[in-house]
Chains A and B, each alone.
Chain A
Amino acid sequence: GQQLNQSPQSMFIQEGEDVSMNCTSSSIFNTWLWYKQDPGEGPVLLIALYKAGELTSNGRLTAQFGITRKDSFLNISASIPSDVGIYFCAGRHPDDKIIFGKGTRLHILP
């Protein structure tokens, strides 16, 4: 099925660094969502974005809904060890169906 283009696929960073990841699509979405998945667990909703241009923060996380409605980014500031995991973007079509990106795997180097 259709998937979003999420990049990067994986990141290796030092603790304390800032992280940035993004998603792009050829389709317009009404809603952009960002989830985090830990190994062997289900995804947990981090941020939901509902309006083009919207910038929303959740603690050290900040996400934006692109003006064209075809892209979104997620930033994590001052990364800590518990930020390790897989981050998925997801876009919701007008028909309510949610499409997931392939994920960004965040690794923090000791």
Chain B
Amino acid sequence: DTGVSQDPRHKITKRGQNVTFRCDPISEHNRLYWYRQTLGQGPEFLTYFQNEAQLEKSRLLSDRFSAERPKGSFSTLEIQRTEQGDSAMYLCASSQLAPRGDEQFFGPGTRLTVL
């Protein structure tokens, strides 16, 4: 499977715990995005990497959230001290650098439930 993959697909945790999600983009894609999607809403932008550099973070990304892409390949998104409001689907997407490609390819997402 050469598409974007995410792990785990589902995560249930208790409030206050830390969680970490992983995203493996399409191998030749330089750009990697994290989005959050809640029920009945479109994906909301969280952060963006170009290769290993994190170039933009949304104000939605509080200081409890941190993302890395250490070697410019896979990325991790960590949420510390989870809150019930963090419950959502976390989507990862990747694309090539413009003008080679603007389409973002999405992974299947990680559904987080905070109890």
- Do A and B pair up? The answer is no
A residues in contact (CB < 8 Å) with B = none
Residues on B facing A (Cβ under 8 Å): none
